[in-house]
Amino acid sequence: MPSSDRIHVLRRDAHAVWLAIRDPRTPWYAKLWGWLIAAYALSPIDLIPDFVPLLGLIDDLIILPAGIWVFVKLVPGEQFAEHLRTAEIASQRPISRGGAVLIVAIWAAVLGLVGFYVWSWRYW
């Protein structure tokens, strides 16, 4: 499987975990495990920092799939399959490049205004 397919599957599965931990049918212990997996995935702090060549990415490629695998074992099969289908449909939605450009432009304008404000205070 090419690496882009693996990344797609990992993102889809992580999204399905996110959907499942918000589902009231999910057992509390599975929700707790799912929150830990989500926190690890989103945390800027890893067991091995990402800037360490090769090893920094390997921990993400081992720990996240293993955590998702355990989560899948804790959730009823049909329930997780339902969330997988929802996550797959969400991953195939078109991406709005115009929307992304608009958001970047807004952030650039805000940063420019903040920079101008800070610069003007410097010489006040």
Q: Are residues 32 and 43 in the same domain?
A: yes
**Domain membership of residue 124 as a residue range:** 96-124
Q: Are residues 29 and 80 in the same domain?
A: yes
Q: Are residues 120 and 68 in the same domain?
A: no
Q: Are residues 86 and 110 in the same domain?
A: no
pLDDT tens-digit map of 67-124: 999 999 999 989 999 999 999 988 887 667 788 788 889 999 999 999 998 888 876 6
Q: Are residues 27 and 73 in the same domain?
A: yes
Q: Is the pTM of this model over 0.85?
A: no
pLDDT tens-digit map of 10-41: 889 988 999 999 999 999 999 999 999 888 87
| Token pair in block for residue 33 | 């495990």
| Separation in Å, CA 124 to CA 50, 104, 115, 117 | 42, 30, 14, 11
Q: Are residues 63 and 122 in the same domain?
A: no
Q: Are residues 79 and 51 in the same domain?
A: yes
Q: How far apart are CA 15 and CA 17, in angstroms?
A: 5
Q: Are residues 23 and 59 in the same domain?
A: yes
- Which value, to the nearest 10 degrees, does the dihedral of the CA atoms of residues 55, 57, 62, 66 take? 140
When divided into structural domains, the chain yields a total of 2
